[in-house]
Amino acid sequence: MGLQQGKTAPDFELKDQDGEKFHLASELKKGPVVLFFYPADFTPGCTAEACSFRDSYEQFTDAGAIVAGISTDSANSHRKFASKYRLPFTLLSDTGGAVARKFAVGRRLMGLLPGRETFVIDRNGMVRLNFNSMGPKGHVRTALQIVRELKGD
């Protein structure tokens, strides 16, 4: 079970699929951030989840949110994944899993598989949602609901 609602999100910096730095504190200055941790590029469930975020991406950006996916895959793998499925958002490479540990994202299947959790972080760095489900469905709908509520704040 990951970092809980009401806690301050830990700051981090990771490289994206293009080798650019993504610094959470800098991104929060622009608006709320949706981080979805997922097990691996190109797997059926992760592809479904990423494509679901892709299909709702405009709704997130219209509400002022930044969307980023995080897995332990390399930047090169992320670049291929984003290209193949036309993913418009940032994919971050957490190769050692340090950021997932900071967010207390659990592992599944006796510790063999990285967890699937989605966090919505408001502009103040507060976790407003932690959605923990190995199923890829529900992450987008639940995160979008919270982002829209934040827009009304």
The set of catalytic residues is 46
Q: Name the one residue in this structure whose structure tokens are 């949706």.
A: 34
CA gap 107, 80 in Å, rounded: 25
- The answer to whether 45 touches 135, Cβ cutoff 8 Å, is yes
Q: Which two tokens stand for residue 28?
A: 């929060």
Q: How many helices (H) and strands (E) does the chain have?
A: 6, 9
- The answer to whether 118 touches 142, Cβ cutoff 8 Å, is yes
Say which DSSP state 8 is in: B
